[in-house]
């Protein structure tokens, strides 16, 4: 094994190091999620932590790391006789993003289980990580079925493997550490809540600090062993401090006053459930032990809140992480205990629990503070409408409008791709997957993962007489095994093509349009899709956001989208075609869904309507599933969006019909259109 980079040699990243050290002091804190840009020592710090962890006593020969003092009575390698334990270093087990279910939870030898009736079980990564660290790099890219297994194990402290009536259970309590780059997509809320703490990291902007980072890294790359030896003394001091804090931890007192501060803080920030309160209490206790104190102070509570709450107060993927620290300080002051005289409290209010302040000093935390659209476009004088005719009735063309705020998002109707795909796991379109309902059986290609018992018995039955076991039990051989074929859901590439021309700005429609696209983005996040954004206005189209798993990035681009000018609809559709062509080469198994948001008007250039029709037929010829969100409004409607949908071979829905709870008209979706085509 290569020499890990020393933890004490990491430059800066104070929050990252503190979050990891608190979990080393008290694993009950529940792990840490590290969010940040590329190249910020996230993985380096996590891998270095294992060298600081105390050794683990285990039962000799137990593959499941049972504690010799209290071995697991249900251990598959048990029962364990009383014997002296042995100590080994704490493990850091890495879970690859592309790991299989069997690799994570372990696997049964199904052939031996059926033929010999024995439980031949090969432990997985959860067993290896028991009483150690389970590290998931790029945890936000982890497949949903693996996330479900992690959630079950984290909640129950055990892993269950069940295959056709054969069941194995073993303990699986581990410190969960994940790292992620938010630009590549957010994490499922259920798994996000399982991380005790979260820290945000970024590269230092201080020149001297960056120089020191490079100097140390080059020295480590040239001679890892020699570099580690130079930091051995600092590592030893830190290891001893962790051990001392662990020994002190049971004696730390969590008084009623600070407990009230914890509860008041969680209530003030409206976090869901009670896990945040518990994690804050454990974190504050660990902070006191780390500082060598036997009593938790208000300053410990404040630091615990900054680590334990930011990721728990996000209501949807578009909410910015973080806490309002002024509001936090006021909450701590108002809920502070009368007898708390901690000198480290940044502002210990003299009146303690007096409610008379009424909260008037808290600045309003308005999400839309910067979203209020200016009532005019006086700063857009470079476009004094010289381009000719109006783009919409009653509104001159050519003048670019300032970005307007999106209307509130809503729950949208289900839009899916017709047919049966084989793409990445998700929740949108039908697909052949490893998880879902069983639809048939086939001979296994490679290792058997999901046994179809009935088909296996049916394949073995005709050969029993030839195998000399007729009437004396069933003999199953490898050739008889049948793999279950299953149908589930896949994630798709949802490419939005948004009309940002002057006609869309008319009658204040753009706010509703942005709200609809924001709603579809939220739906894409929940269904684990990739998203992309193409916009067109003026004379050309542009890729505002290349396909990505980050709906946050798409929402940010949408929010700043300006409007105005003519409507180059054909250019938008052709730009979308170029994007999809590249994505088909990059990820051929992920099927696209084209969502065109427009009123259907096409202006500018020769024969703009005919060009748009030809561009639409190009998408239809390649079998691209599509839906047109008709943004036309008013009493007189031209029906141009419906005509565009026919050229695309898709369907059109109005903004009202896009809502899941809408009762207007027939229920339309792109699946029905695909069947009709």
Q: What are the catalytic residues?
A: 275
Report CA-CA distances (Å) from 153 to 150, 422, 548.
5, 28, 30
CA distance linking residue 41 with residue 10, whole number of Å: 8
CA distance linking residue 673 with residue 677, whole number of Å: 6
CA distance linking residue 139 with residue 94, whole number of Å: 11
Neighbours of 464 (CB within 10 A): 16
Q: Which residues contact 63 (CB under 8 A, 6 or more apart)?
A: 76, 77, 123, 127
Torsions phi, psi for 345 (to 5 deg): -65, 125
Closest by Cα among 575, 582, 541, 583 to 561: 541
**Helix (H), strand (E) counts: the chain:** 22, 20
Residues in the chain: 677
Query: In this structure, what token pair is assigned to residue 511?
Result: 């706010």
Query: In this structure, what token pair is assigned to residue 601?
Result: 């008007």
Q: Which residues contact 457 (CB under 8 A, 6 or more apart)?
A: 474, 476
CA distance linking residue 412 with residue 230, whole number of Å: 59
DSSP 659: B
Q: Which residues contact 481 (CB under 8 A, 6 or more apart)?
A: 110, 111, 443, 444, 448, 451, 456, 459
CA distance linking residue 27 with residue 634, whole number of Å: 61
Answer whether the bond into residue 66 is a cis peptide, omega within 30°. Answer: no
Element (H, E) at 34: strand 32-36
Report CA-CA distances (Å) from 87 to 126, 136, 541, 639.
20, 25, 64, 75
Residue by residue, DSSP assigns 102-128 as HHHHEEE-HHHHHHH----EEE-HHHH
Closest by Cα among 78, 6, 9, 75 to 47: 6
- Max Cα–Cα distance, the chain, nearest Å: 93
**Residue 45 β-bridge partners:** none
**Residue 253 β-bridge partners:** 295
């Amino acid at each position: 094994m290569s020499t890990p980079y020393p933890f004490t040699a990491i430059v800066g990243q104070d929050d990252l190091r503190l979050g990891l050290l608190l979990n080393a002091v008290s694993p009950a804190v529940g792990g840490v999620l590290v969010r940040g840009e590329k190249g910020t020592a996230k993985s380096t710090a996590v891998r270095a932590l294992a060298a600081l962890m105390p050794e683990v006593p285990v039962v000799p020969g137990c593959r499941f790391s049972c504690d010799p003092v209290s071995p697991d009575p249900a251990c598959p390698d048990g029962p364990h006789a009383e014997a002296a334990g042995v100590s080994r270093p704490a493990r850091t087990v890495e879970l690859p993003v592309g790991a299989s279910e069997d690799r994570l939870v372990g696997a049964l030898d199904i052939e031996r289980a059926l033929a010999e009736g024995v439980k031949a079980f090969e432990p997985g990564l959860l067993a290896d990580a028991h009483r150690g660290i389970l590290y998931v790099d790029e945890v936000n890219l982890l497949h949903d079925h693996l996330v479900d297994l992690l959630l079950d194990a984290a909640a129950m402290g055990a892993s269950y493997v069940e295959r056709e009536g054969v069941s194995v259970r073993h303990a699986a309590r581990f410190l969960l550490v994940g790292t992620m780059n938010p630009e590549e997509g957010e994490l499922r809320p259920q798994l996000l809540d399982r991380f005790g703490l979260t820290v945000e990291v970024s590269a230092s902007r201080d020149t001297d600090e960056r120089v020191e980072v490079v100097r140390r890294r080059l020295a480590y790359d040239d001679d890892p062993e020699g570099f580690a030896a130079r930091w051995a003394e600092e590592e030893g001091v830190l290891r001893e401090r962790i051990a001392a804090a662990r020994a002190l931890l049971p004696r730390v007192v969590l008084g009623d006053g600070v407990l009230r501060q914890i509860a008041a803080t969680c209530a003030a920030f409206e976090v869901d459930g009670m896990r945040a309160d518990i994690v804050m209490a454990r974190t504050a206790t660990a902070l006191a032990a780390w500082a060598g104190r036997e009593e938790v102070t208000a300053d410990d509570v404040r630091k615990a809140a900054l680590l334990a709450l930011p990721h728990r107060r996000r209501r949807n993927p578009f909410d910015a992480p973080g806490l309002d620290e002024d509001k936090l300080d006021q909450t701590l002051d108002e809920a502070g205990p009368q007898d708390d005289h901690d000198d480290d409290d940044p502002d210990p209010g003299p009146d303690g629990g007096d409610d008379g302040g009424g909260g008037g000093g808290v600045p309003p935390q308005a999400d839309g503070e910067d979203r209020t659209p200016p009532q005019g476009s006086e700063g857009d004088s470079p476009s004094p409408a010289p381009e000719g005719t109006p783009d919409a009735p009653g509104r001159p063309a050519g003048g670019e409008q300032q970005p307007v705020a999106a209307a509130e998002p809503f729950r949208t109707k289900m839009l899916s791709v017709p047919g049966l795909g084989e793409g990445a796991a998700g929740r949108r379109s039908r697909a052949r997957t490893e998880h879902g309902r069983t639809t048939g059986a086939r001979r296994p290609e490679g290792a058997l993962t999901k046994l179809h018992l009935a088909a296996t018995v049916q394949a073995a039955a005709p050969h029993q007489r030839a195998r000399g076991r007729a009437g004396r039990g069933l003999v199953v051989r490898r050739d008889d095994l049948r793999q279950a074929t299953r149908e589930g859901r896949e994630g798709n590439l949802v490419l939005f093509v948004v009309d940002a021309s002057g006609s869309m700005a008319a009658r204040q429609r753009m706010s509703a349009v942005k709200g609809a696209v924001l709603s579809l983005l939220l739906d894409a996040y929940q269904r684990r899709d990739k998203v992309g954004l193409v916009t067109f206005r003026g004379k050309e189209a542009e890729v505002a956001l290349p396909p990505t798993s980050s709906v946050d990035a798409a929402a940010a681009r949408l929010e700043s989208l300006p409007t105005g000018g003519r409507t180059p609809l054909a250019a938008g559709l052709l730009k979308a075609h170029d994007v999809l062509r590249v994505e088909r080469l990059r990820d051929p198994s992920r099927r696209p869904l084209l969502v065109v948001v427009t009123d259907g008007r096409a202006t500018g250039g020769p024969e703009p309507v005919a060009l748009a029709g030809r561009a639409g037929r190009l998408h239809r010829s390649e079998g691209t599933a599509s839906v047109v969100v008709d943004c036309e409004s008013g009493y007189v409607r031209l029906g141009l969006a419906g005509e565009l949908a026919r050229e695309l071979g898709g369907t059109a829905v109005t903004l009202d019909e896009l809502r899941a709870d809408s009762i207007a008209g027939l229920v339309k979706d792109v699946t029905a259109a695909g069947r009709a085509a």
